[in-house]
Structure 1
Amino acid sequence: MKILMVEDDKTIASALEYTLQQDGYHTILCQDVARAKKVIDKQLGEIDLCLFDLSLPDGSGYELCELVKKRSDKPVIFLTAFDDEVNVVMGLDMGADDYIIKPFRIRELLSRIKSVLRRHQKQAQTKSNPVIMVENIQINTLEGKVFKNGEEVFVTALEYRLFLIFANHIGQVLTRSQLLERIWDVAGDFVNDNTLTVYIKRLREKLEDDPQRPSLIKTIRGMGYKVGD
């Protein structure tokens, strides 16, 4: 596994590089946006995961994340000193897969990296499989049908598309902006923020065992929603 690290603090970068290499990862270390862009241009296909500091001397990790996500679905984790929901949500909206607040424990970061890589591998397998299982819910993508405990559940076309987005991003927090953007792209219908709330409510009523205490489609306060993990 090869990881692209972009971190301008030499002490942090050195410690991260050593730990990741000891854990069996190959690393490419850059200390600014300019160098990272050159690596992305030439070696993105070889990279398995990107680890971007948000604050860099000649730009930001947001810029690099946007570049990576335009060209591939490689997972991105942000390192941020800003313990602030606005910064976190902005990163997630750009397609980041996870974030970790500085200062952090090295072992915690390693755990996050492994979790994101596992999730990414599962998503790749899911996309190639016509039947997707999410707990006791089954989605047959060839027939466009949803089943709960083996019984078919009637869902509208937009409800189906919304749940399929969740199923293809198991364990990942999806912000409302991300969901609205993806539903618009897929459905071509006008969906606003209030309509999204209604559709999530309807999905919970149809798929949750207890819609008042949802355990399938979880609300992540101040950030968005998550299914699984």
Structure 2
Amino acid sequence: MLRILLAEDDPLIVEGLSELLAGEGYEVVSSPTQAGAVELACAPGADVALALVDLTLAEGSGYAVCAAIKHATPEVPVIFLTAADDELSTVTGLTMGADDYVAKPFRPRELLARVHAAIRRARPERSTLRLGPVSIDLDRARVTRHGEEVALSALEYRLLLLFAKNAGRVVTRDMIRDALWDDAGAYVEENTLSVYIKRLRDKLEDDPTEPRLIVTVRGLGYRAGT
């Protein structure tokens, strides 16, 4: 499981982002201060895959957190979170080595897309996910099963990614609803979720009536096999 550092002093944002990132299969560690964030990111064995850093911390500076991370582990991508979307803040952050920035308030799906992209660039060897006989090429958004390409809709692909990133763990229906929430914010009906699950099973399972890749966990949701 990849670990993400969140340097943010707003507890509501920390709670929301932690839940969002955990739903994508990431482990989140957080600190509201510069000193705490630097310690979490740079301590021996920290193994942070990416840092999300607020520019304006209550104690210290997001710029200083970025500088410390880039000095200790240059390969770790840093994305700035900032309410200041002016050109000077953006240029300053990128000049200091930040890989990207997102202005608040941000759209959760956009933030996740930037996180995924930054990690793929930093760890190209992890650009493929597997779920049993199913292989997902993240760079090309290409899915194969037993070596044969499988055509998926955009929603089916997002659903498959959710299961692959949470292999072996329970994926709740709320997590699925969040993953399929469209850009217009339309609510995904309960019956619609079941339809998407059935379609994915029909395309990926050896026997959709006896699923092994996407198994129902009664009363909770589903568990993706490996």
Name the TM tier (shorter chain): 0.5 to 0.7
Which residue is 2:163 aligned to?
A: none
| TM-score for the superposition, normalised by structure 2 | 0.52
1:58 matched to 2:62:
no
Which residue is 1:113 aligned to?
A: 115
Query: Which whole-Å CA distance do the structure 2 matches of 1:6 and 1:112 have between them?
Result: 17
Query: Which whole-Å CA distance do the structure 1 matches of 2:125 and 2:94 have between them?
Result: 17
Query: Which whole-Å CA distance do the structure 1 matches of 2:125 and 2:102 have between them?
Result: 22
Which residue is 1:32 aligned to?
A: 33
Code of the aligned partner of 2:81: L
Higher fraction of helix? 1
Mapping for residues 172-191 of structure 1, pairs under 5 Å: none
Q: CA deviation at 1:33?
A: 1.0
Q: Is the 8 A contact 2:90 2:101 kept in 1?
A: yes
Code of the aligned partner of 1:87: S
Which residue is 1:7 aligned to?
A: 8
Query: Which whole-Å CA distance do the structure 2 matches of 1:82 and 1:97 have between them?
Result: 17
Q: 1:155-175, CA deviations, whole angstroms, 9 ceiling, x for partnerless residues?
A: xxxxxxxxxxxxxxxxxxxxx
DSSP-derived class of the 1:48 partner:
strand
Which residue is 1:182 aligned to?
A: none
Q: Measured at CA, do residues 53 and 46 of structure 1 come closer, stay the same or move farther in structure 2, by a change above 3 Å? A: same
Q: Measured at CA, do residues 43 and 4 of structure 1 come closer, stay the same or move farther in structure 2, by a change above 3 Å? A: farther
Query: Which whole-Å CA distance do the structure 2 matches of 1:25 and 1:79 have between them?
Result: 18
Q: CA deviation at 1:41?
A: 3.4
Q: CA deviation at 1:44?
A: 6.1
Query: Which whole-Å CA distance do the structure 2 matches of 1:103 and 1:116 have between them?
Result: 20
Which residue is 1:214 aligned to?
A: none
Which residue is 2:70 aligned to?
A: 69
Query: Which whole-Å CA distance do the structure 2 matches of 1:69 and 1:2 have between them?
Result: 17
Code of the aligned partner of 1:13: V
Q: Is the 8 A contact 2:50 2:119 kept in 1?
A: yes
DSSP-derived class of the 1:79 partner:
strand
Which residue is 1:90 aligned to?
A: 92
Q: Is the 8 A contact 2:32 2:59 kept in 1?
A: no
CA RMSD of the aligned region, Å? 1.9
Query: Which whole-Å CA distance do the structure 1 matches of 2:3 and 2:11 have between them?
Result: 20
Which residue is 1:79 aligned to?
A: 81
| TM-score for the superposition, normalised by structure 1 | 0.52
Q: Measured at CA, do residues 38 and 104 of structure 1 come closer, stay the same or move farther in structure 2, by a change above 3 Å? A: same
DSSP-derived class of the 2:123 partner:
helix
Query: Which whole-Å CA distance do the structure 2 matches of 1:71 and 1:109 have between them?
Result: 25
Q: Measured at CA, do residues 123 and 78 of structure 1 come closer, stay the same or move farther in structure 2, by a change above 3 Å? A: farther
Number of residue-to-residue matches in the alignment: 125
1:17 matched to 2:18:
yes
Which residue is 1:103 aligned to?
A: 105
Q: Is the 8 A contact 2:42 2:72 kept in 1?
A: no
Query: Which whole-Å CA distance do the structure 2 matches of 1:24 and 1:43 have between them?
Result: 23
DSSP-derived class of the 2:6 partner:
strand
Q: CA deviation at 1:123?
A: 9.7
Q: Is the 8 A contact 2:120 2:126 kept in 1?
A: no
Q: Measured at CA, do residues 44 and 66 of structure 1 come closer, stay the same or move farther in structure 2, by a change above 3 Å? A: farther
